[in-house]
């Protein structure tokens, strides 16, 4: 059986997703960096502070975001230009909300922005159709799956849970122990955590996210990646081509990919064919 693997043959990935581009993100990035965790910050560029924020709460400025997110190696993603309920809007306004946010982020960070989190976590079929037209590759919901399966539909990317979920550490222990049932036997899995960093101030529980990152971080069998890194890798590994006899594997993409077969791990370099 051909079994997909993450880079270096790992079968597990951990990623975070935090919304709104607020000052408390600074503290979270410090914690993430301490334990080698990576993730994605979803930004409403129409609501950015016009000046650097030194209050410790509220929105960050464009300059602060550039320094914080880019220098730490985290991803920035769309969250709606002004955080509107997209499902209440006509298609042309939805498109403008998404494309304007994407354009500003791309100009600021000098990168291709293709990820998103739904404002308020709400959406409908019209919103999804607009995201496809806008070139959005994935969009995160707020529905806790309590699972670690890879998404079937990346535009309905359900996180494992919110950081205040009552089963957070129980789920973390299951994930680390690999003691769970997946839709696909013995394949890659992902722990996906989301939230807003201002909630740590509101709930006085910064110790909760530090404990989570300390527990999850620094493990040799986990790939720590941003949302888009995981998405792009899965698109690449899904394009592996095998001959009928299953004696060769061809990787038509620009990304090195890994898989295992009969217990043996294989790496297929970008653009190359290997023999099994």
192 and 260 share a domain? no
Do residues 271 and 217 share a domain? no
- Considering the domain architecture, whether residues 175 and 216 belong to the same structural domain is answered as yes
Give the global pTM.
0.96
pLDDT in tens, 224-250: 999 999 999 999 999 999 999 999 999
252 in the same domain as 231: no
In a domain, 139, yes or no: yes
For the chain, percent of residues with pLDDT exceeding 90 = 94
Same domain flag for 213 and 257: no
Question: How high is the pLDDT of residue 181?
Answer: 47
Q: Per-residue pLDDT tens for 123-139?
A: 999 999 999 999 999 99
| Pair (257, 218) in one structural domain | no
In a domain, 1, yes or no: no
| DSSP output for the chain | -EEEE-GGG--EEEEEEEES-BTTHHHHHHHHHHHT--EEEEE-GGG-BSS---SSSSBPBHHHHIIIIIHTT-EEEE--TT---GGGS-HHHHHHHHHHHHHHHHHHHTS---EEE-GGG---HHHHHHHHHTT--EEE-S------PPPSSGGGB--SEETT-TTHHHHHHHHHHT-S--SSTT--EEEEEEE-THHHHHHT-HHHHHHHHHHHSS-TTEEE--HHHHHHHHHHHTT-EE-TTS-EEE--SSS-EEEEETTEEEEE-TT-EEE-
In a domain, 6, yes or no: no
Shared domain for 229 and 245, answered yes or no, is no
226 and 258 both lie in a single domain: no
Based on the fold, state whether residues 255 and 130 are members of the same structural domain: no
Is the pLDDT score of 185 beyond 60? no
Cα dihedral: 224, 226, 228, 230 (round 10): 20
Whether 3 maps to a domain, the answer reads no
Domain residue limits at 30: 11-237
137 shares a domain with 270: no
Query: Into how many domains does the chain fold?
Result: 2
| pLDDT in the model for residue 179 | 53
Confirm whether 4 is domain-assigned. Answer: no
């Amino acid at each position: 059986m051909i079994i997909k693997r993450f880079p270096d043959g790992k079968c597990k990935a951990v990623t975070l997703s935090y919304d709104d581009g607020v000052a408390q993100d600074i503290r979270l990035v410090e914690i993430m960096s301490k334990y080698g965790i990576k993730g994605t910050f979803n930004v409403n560029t129409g609501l950015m502070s016009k000046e650097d924020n030194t209050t410790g709460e509220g929105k960050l400025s464009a300059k602060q975001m550039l320094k914080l997110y880019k220098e730490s190696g985290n991803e920035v993603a769309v969250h709606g230009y002004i955080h509107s309920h997209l499902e209440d809007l006509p298609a042309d306004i939805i498109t403008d909300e998404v494309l304007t946010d994407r354009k500003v982020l791309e100009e600021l960070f000098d990168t291709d922005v293709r990820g998103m989190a739904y404002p308020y976590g709400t959406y409908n079929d019209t919103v999804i159709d607009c995201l496809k037209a806008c070139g959005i590759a994935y969009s995160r919901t707020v529905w806790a799956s309590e699972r670690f399966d890879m998404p079937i539909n990346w535009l309905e990317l359900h996180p494992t849970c919110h950081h205040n979920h009552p089963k957070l550490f129980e789920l973390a222990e299951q994930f680390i122990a690999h003691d769970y049932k997946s839709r696909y036997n013995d394949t890659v899995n992902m722990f996906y955590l989301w939230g807003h960093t201002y909630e740590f101030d509101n709930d006085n529980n910064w110790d909760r996210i530090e404990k989570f990152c300390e527990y999850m971080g620094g493990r040799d069998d986990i790939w720590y990646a941003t949302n888009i890194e995981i998405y792009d890798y899965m698109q690449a590994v899904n394009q592996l081509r095998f001959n009928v006899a299953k004696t060769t594997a061809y990787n038509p993409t620009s990304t090195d990919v890994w898989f295992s077969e009969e217990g043996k791990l294989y790496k297929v370099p970008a653009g190359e064919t290997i023999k099994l």
